[in-house]
Structure 1
Amino acid sequence: MAALTLVSGSVGLITLQNPPVNALSAAVRQGIVDTVQKALSNPQVKAVVICGQNGVFCAGADIKEFSKPMSGPHVVPMIDAIEVANKPVVAAIEGSALGGGLELALGCHYRISQSKAQLGLPEVLLGLLPAAGGTQRLPRLIGVPAALDLITTGRYVTAAEALKLGMVDQVTDKNTVEAAIKFALSVVGQSLESRRISTLPCPCPADMDALFERVMQRVKQSARGAMAPVACVQAVQAAATLPYAQGIQRERELMDTLFTSGQARALQYCFFSQRVVSRWSMPNGARWDNSKPKHVSKVAVIGLGTMGRGITVALALAGLSVVAVETQQQQMMAGQSAVSGMLARAAQKRGVPSVKHQVHYSVELEAVADVELVIEAVFEDLGLKKQIFKRLSSVCKTDTLLCSNTSALDIDELASQTHRPELVVGMHFFAPAHLMKLLEVVYGPRSAPQAVATVMKLGKRIGKVSVAVGNCRGFVSNRMLKLYAEQAVFLVEEGASPEMVDHTLEKFGFPMGLFRMSDLSGLDVGWKVRKAEGLVEPGQMSRVRQGRRYCPLGDLLCEQGRFGQKTGRGWYLYEPAGSREARPDPWLQSFLEEYRARQGLVPRRIDSQEVLERCLYSLINEGFNILQEGIAAGPEDIDMIYVFGFSFPRHRGGPMFYASQVGLSRVLQRLEHYQQQHPDVPYLQPSSLLRRLVSSGSPPIQKWKEVMRTPHSAL
């Protein structure tokens, strides 16, 4: 909806009314068409100002309408009608002008922006492109290179940057609508010919062909198979080489292809799933909505290793007061220096002066006595963590939340060391902790809903996508990852090379294959975990441990000091010293040949399809087991953990959404095939929930919870 009022005697003020963000729903579009027509036909109106209700201009299309048949006026002719108006039309941009909202503003003759507003065309993040003239008008207004940057990345710009680029005509700290009205009155009677962006020539650099070739290569590399960024380049190229009418037709053709694609559905699923996971639930029915979180302003971090430093920085950047404790003086000094440097770099990146953050350092655990929440971040040793929790239980206030940054250990066992187990919650950060978006929030059987709500809210405050999961070995993230990684190593044992496996996974869309990722993280990390589980037998090459198939290749590499990038050798070779470029290692090839010969293994040819199916379907199958056990509330939780924690390609939606796209019956059939081939790998046995979903007709992913809630026989 849109309302028209006459202000200052001769300015028609059109206000978009669709809270909270004034999305361009069918009703709003119809309102714009009607009010613009009324304003232009009213002789009293000499100029028009378009603004949004409640301090927000317009955040673009109503994404909820994407799945419905088109109704109401089309956006392109609506904006064209504004642009051809014979009276000046001014956009008063407050809050945000995103997507269709910015395209609406580009159709206006002038744009006045609030200093704190954000502008952008983020459609590419939903698997789409700006299809209301955005790819045609923006290059004409700010030039091809700048338009390509904004449209292919979907990034937002501040009002200051928008002014510098030429996207807006004026920025104000005062009342934006009043400034726009005053501006509109000042341009009444002036020619509008040069203000109609679609009629302007597109300013193109001399090396335009070379520019588009460079950008296309860069975009294809970073997109990793995503279609939308490539289509965005093609649409902007049309703006640079074709008249507006033909360019807008090319924009529409490209949009039609994207709109019906599986990739767009996956990216829109991710968009909505972020909202779903924030409304977490527990088996007792407690939800974010009915559990009031505690106020937290002062937090402690125990341990200033790599994870502790990142967590400290994340908390400090969010404005929290932090007490950082490291009992080893040398480690304390190193940690303090690292945190200070990270905070300074963060300030520089944000383009703001370095500010004094409230981080206090201590070598005494007693320094945490007055905080509201503690995050233990020492290395992954259950005995050490239990000792710390026992001491924290005595040192901290009776209502202080005690949290552990464990990646796999039993939260309930840690809680058992305290006087108040209901206040113990897991906070599994991902490295680097100040940059990675995911926070896996782990509740044990005795964790209070309020404690979980408090941690979820804290995660949101520090900019994380927080996902609540139940307590089990490895939780959701590492429980699934372990099987994915194990299949990759099995494939190498059987004849694949690390490079071939990595190339296949990267072509699928992962930024880094399993073996490159292992080298980056350090092979010794997994080695320590396997030692703790009693799986490592030094010098032994047995391929059976604890009654199931086991591959000792990783252990054997670690025994030779090959820990990955930090030692210059792992699954790959890194030369010269300190290099991050992974190169195939001739030594490893000889080592694998010798290993297979000693094991009596005849290497076979393995194709990319088998790599994807065995790695991904084992991951997916464990996801179904997790859903069946109630460790995750729904498939969205698993998918957001993998998208934000492990960079599962967003345009594939996450492992569970990908399974729904491939077809559950196909996943089931291939798991049965591989389970028959490898009967000594128990987790290839298809999940009973997967079987139930297939027998229920493979419902869409949004309906899985209905099947999950249906009672079933253990038989």
Structure 2
Amino acid sequence: ENMGKGKVDMEVRADGVALITITNPPVNSLSIPVLLGLKEKYEEAMQRPDVKAIVVTGASGKFSGGFDIGTLGNAKLEGLPNGVDISVGIITQSLEGTQRLPRLVGLSKALEMILLSKPIKSEEASELGLVDAIVPPAELVNTACCWALDIAEFRRPWEASAFEELINSDTAQALIHIFFAQRSTSKVPGVTDIGVKPRKIQKVAVVGGGLMGSGIATALILSGYPVILKEVNDQFLQAGLDRIKANLQSRVKKGKMSQGKFEKTISLVQGVLGYENFRDVDMVIEDRIVGAHFFSPAHVMPLLEIVRAEKTSPQVIIDLMDVGKKIKKTPIVVGNCTGFAVNRMFFPYTQSALLLIDLGLDVYQIDRVITKFGMPMGPFRLADLVGFEVAVATGMQYLEHFPERVYKSLLLPFMMEDKRFGKKLVTCTRITPEKGIFFGMSKLPFSFTDKDIIEMVFFPVVNEACRVLDEGIAVQASDLDIASVMGMGFPTLQVTQKSQCSLIFICILLPTLWLLLA
């Protein structure tokens, strides 16, 4: 068996550098004996107290021609010059060269070097960042030894410093907070800590096949639950079944589901007009015992609000939490109030944006700033998609329950009066100043920066979140953070900033802003 040839020698210089030399003419290739010799000399150097640094070189002015593939058979020896195998391991995957080289020189050049074994000159290697310096041959070893001693003597903990800076950044803290907050949603005092185990839910009924009901049914059958879909007549029932089918077909088109899986999944839903088939179901949505508040589209959005009433049993809550997790939702348990937790917390979001419009700001400017901040879309585009009649109806609910905190905007009633209902009802909604569509705006004698707009829109949300916590609607503050991210698309990286600013806003900025506007 041809194992190759070659040897490795080591000399410890007076300055404490262990100079390891490869000798395997003609190009000092990395044969098996050379690799074993490198390992042996490296281990020896690491054990010697007089060694401060290690430098590897090659005899006769040649570092190494690369891995000796002749040791794997009788194939012709091929290798790259300058011995970069040892430092970046270009030839074999075991030396990680195919992974490291693209990071150094870029994908295009790396592919050229890896696939064609095309040599490059030292000047080009320096420009690419593959080598750090070019020195005369006579000075090469001494220069390398000086560099090695410099590294050993003046160690710069760049990785540790960079990691410390990264781990203490607002971005990292926000991501860490959300990571643990999501897991803490499964801990509900008086529910998950009393030894109650979830019952096995085998079949679920969904009452109503509209946009939300069909989305809920889709989420259930995607997780393997047989579903009974109840509607009031054949037309509505067929429309609901068609929505479910369209939801699944969308996954097929995107390559997320095979046709066979589609057929199997759609067979899990049964449409009915009566309640006769409900006798063997384990859970009904909508049910009056506990609220299961999904977010649209229900088969996509990851949040599930579980709304408990005064007498909801822990068993029912934990059953629904279990189902929520099985259909790939993150459940949070909340109390019952107008809007529950998420919509209640965010109702000032749209209202603050409407106030800015009445103060003379541009709709598109507000949406651009909010989107740039990290939200999936601005408040006006969202209202346009949902439908302005929904926004008006929702606003009336909050006006009834929180009259002292509801801003009565002129814009939405005007849009309704002008029959601009939003994209949900096909009619395109545009607010164009040149057409004079909305003349009720005033112009303040000062301008708003992007930061001002963000604070005006989101700080009232923080304020309302504090009320939600104070009233016991939410179990813990971190639940509201998860609800904001998963239910409203609040940017994860901004979560800690939201928490840090809340006290400042409530104690200082809110009264100041009120006086300014007054």
1:453 alignment partner, one of 318, 321, 330: 318
Structure-2 separation of matches of 1:487 and 1:266: 25
Structure-1 separation of matches of 2:419 and 2:109: 50
Cα drift, residue 344 of structure 1: 3.1
Residue 563 of structure 1 aligns with an amino acid whose one-letter code is F
Query: Conserved in 2, the CA contact under 8 Å of 1:561 and 1:567?
Result: no
Task: Show CA shifts across 1:540-591 (max 9, x none).
Answer: xxxx977964113112102222122234556x53xxxxxxxxxxx4258723
Q: Does 1:512 align with 2:377?
A: yes
Structure 1 561/587 Cα, relative in aligned 2: closer, same or farther at 3 Å?
A: farther
Query: Could you state the TM-score of these two structures normalised by the residue count of structure 2?
Result: 0.67
Cα drift, residue 668 of structure 1: 2.3
Structure-2 separation of matches of 1:555 and 1:251: 58
Structure 1 614/531 Cα, relative in aligned 2: closer, same or farther at 3 Å?
A: closer
Structure-1 separation of matches of 2:385 and 2:356: 20
Residue 251 of structure 2 aligns with an amino acid whose one-letter code is A
Structure-1 separation of matches of 2:183 and 2:486: 14
Structure 1 439/494 Cα, relative in aligned 2: closer, same or farther at 3 Å?
A: same
Q: Does 1:344 align with 2:226?
A: no
Which one has the largest radius of gyration? Answer: 2
Secondary structure, in 3 states, of the residue corresponding to 2:263? Answer: coil
- 1:674 is matched with 513
- 2:437 is matched with 591
Structure-2 separation of matches of 1:436 and 1:590: 38
Structure 1 362/666 Cα, relative in aligned 2: closer, same or farther at 3 Å?
A: closer
Structure 1 509/530 Cα, relative in aligned 2: closer, same or farther at 3 Å?
A: closer
Structure 1 244/428 Cα, relative in aligned 2: closer, same or farther at 3 Å?
A: farther
2:202 alignment partner, one of 297, 316, 320: 297
Secondary structure, in 3 states, of the residue corresponding to 2:204? Answer: strand
Structure 1 194/510 Cα, relative in aligned 2: closer, same or farther at 3 Å?
A: closer
Query: Conserved in 1, the CA contact under 8 Å of 2:355 and 2:407?
Result: no
Structure-2 separation of matches of 1:307 and 1:496: 34
- 2:181 is matched with 273
Structure 1 338/257 Cα, relative in aligned 2: closer, same or farther at 3 Å?
A: same
Cα drift, residue 482 of structure 1: 1.0
- 2:453 is matched with 611
- 1:201 is matched with 101
- 1:36 is matched with none
- 1:492 is matched with 357
Q: Does 1:564 align with 2:439?
A: no
Structure-2 separation of matches of 1:264 and 1:607: 27
Structure-1 separation of matches of 2:434 and 2:468: 36
Cα drift, residue 257 of structure 1: 4.5
Structure 1 351/331 Cα, relative in aligned 2: closer, same or farther at 3 Å?
A: closer
Structure 1 491/346 Cα, relative in aligned 2: closer, same or farther at 3 Å?
A: same
Structure 1 557/307 Cα, relative in aligned 2: closer, same or farther at 3 Å?
A: same
Task: Show CA shifts across 1:285-328 (max 9, x none).
Answer: 33256222221010001111100111010000000010001112
Structure 1 604/591 Cα, relative in aligned 2: closer, same or farther at 3 Å?
A: farther
Structure-1 separation of matches of 2:220 and 2:434: 42
Query: Could you state the TM-score of these two structures normalised by the residue count of structure 1?
Result: 0.50
Query: Conserved in 1, the CA contact under 8 Å of 2:230 and 2:272?
Result: yes
Q: Does 1:555 align with 2:460?
A: no
Cα drift, residue 676 of structure 1: 3.4
Alignment of structure 1 residues 11-410 onto 2, 5 Å: 193-198=92-97, 201-202=101-102, 204-206=106-108, 242-243=129-130, 255=163, 257-281=165-189, 285-287=190-192, 290-347=195-252, 349-352=255-258, 353=260, 354-357=262-265, 358-376=268-286, 402=287
Secondary structure, in 3 states, of the residue corresponding to 2:215? Answer: helix
Q: Does 1:429 align with 2:294?
A: yes
Secondary structure, in 3 states, of the residue corresponding to 2:391? Answer: helix
- 1:662 is matched with 501
Structure-2 separation of matches of 1:566 and 1:677: 37
Higher relative contact order (CA 8 A, sep 6+): 2
Residue 258 of structure 1 aligns with an amino acid whose one-letter code is L
Query: Conserved in 1, the CA contact under 8 Å of 2:186 and 2:192?
Result: no
Task: Show CA shifts across 1:315-346 (max 9, x none).
Answer: 00000010001112112112212212222333
Structure-1 separation of matches of 2:436 and 2:131: 60
Structure-2 separation of matches of 1:595 and 1:468: 42
Structure-1 separation of matches of 2:434 and 2:243: 35
- 2:493 is matched with 651
Structure 1 250/325 Cα, relative in aligned 2: closer, same or farther at 3 Å?
A: farther
Structure 1 602/244 Cα, relative in aligned 2: closer, same or farther at 3 Å?
A: same
Residue range with higher mean Cα deviation, 328-337 or 664-673 = 664-673
Structure-2 separation of matches of 1:338 and 1:588: 40
- 2:64 is matched with none
Residue range with higher mean Cα deviation, 501-510 or 293-302 = 501-510
Query: Conserved in 1, the CA contact under 8 Å of 2:209 and 2:230?
Result: yes
Secondary structure, in 3 states, of the residue corresponding to 2:339? Answer: coil
Secondary structure, in 3 states, of the residue corresponding to 2:264? Answer: coil
Q: Does 1:633 align with 2:475?
A: yes
Structure 1 591/252 Cα, relative in aligned 2: closer, same or farther at 3 Å?
A: farther
Secondary structure, in 3 states, of the residue corresponding to 1:440? Answer: strand
Query: Conserved in 2, the CA contact under 8 Å of 1:495 and 1:606?
Result: no
Secondary structure, in 3 states, of the residue corresponding to 1:290? Answer: coil
Query: Conserved in 1, the CA contact under 8 Å of 2:351 and 2:407?
Result: no
Structure 1 667/546 Cα, relative in aligned 2: closer, same or farther at 3 Å?
A: closer
* Seq. identity, %: 30
RMSD, aligned α-carbons: 3.6
Query: Conserved in 2, the CA contact under 8 Å of 1:495 and 1:605?
Result: no
Structure 1 296/668 Cα, relative in aligned 2: closer, same or farther at 3 Å?
A: same
- 1:481 is matched with 346
Structure-1 separation of matches of 2:477 and 2:454: 20
Query: Conserved in 2, the CA contact under 8 Å of 1:437 and 1:644?
Result: yes
Structure-2 separation of matches of 1:264 and 1:602: 39
Query: Conserved in 2, the CA contact under 8 Å of 1:596 and 1:603?
Result: no
Structure-2 separation of matches of 1:363 and 1:206: 62
Structure-1 separation of matches of 2:131 and 2:383: 50
- 2:49 is matched with none
Cα drift, residue 477 of structure 1: 0.7
Query: Conserved in 1, the CA contact under 8 Å of 2:211 and 2:243?
Result: no
Structure-2 separation of matches of 1:425 and 1:522: 28
Query: Conserved in 2, the CA contact under 8 Å of 1:297 and 1:321?
Result: yes
- 2:119 is matched with none
Cα drift, residue 194 of structure 1: 4.6
Cα drift, residue 661 of structure 1: 3.1
Task: Show CA shifts across 1:20-75 (max 9, x none).
Answer: xxxxxxxxxxxxxxxxxxxx99x9xxxxxxxxxxxxxxxxxxxxxxxxxxxxxxxx
Structure-2 separation of matches of 1:346 and 1:506: 27
Task: Show CA shifts across 1:648-696 (max 9, x none).
Answer: 001122xxx33333373355211221233467xxxxxxxxxxxxxxxxx
Structure-2 separation of matches of 1:297 and 1:615: 44
Secondary structure, in 3 states, of the residue corresponding to 1:300? Answer: strand
Residue 510 of structure 2 aligns with an amino acid whose one-letter code is L
Structure 1 194/456 Cα, relative in aligned 2: closer, same or farther at 3 Å?
A: closer
Cα drift, residue 487 of structure 1: 0.8
**Please, which runs of 5 or more residues in structure 1 have no aligned partner?**
1-39, 44-85, 87-135, 142-191, 209-239, 377-401, 403-414, 416-423, 536-543, 574-584, 680-715
Cα drift, residue 355 of structure 1: 3.5
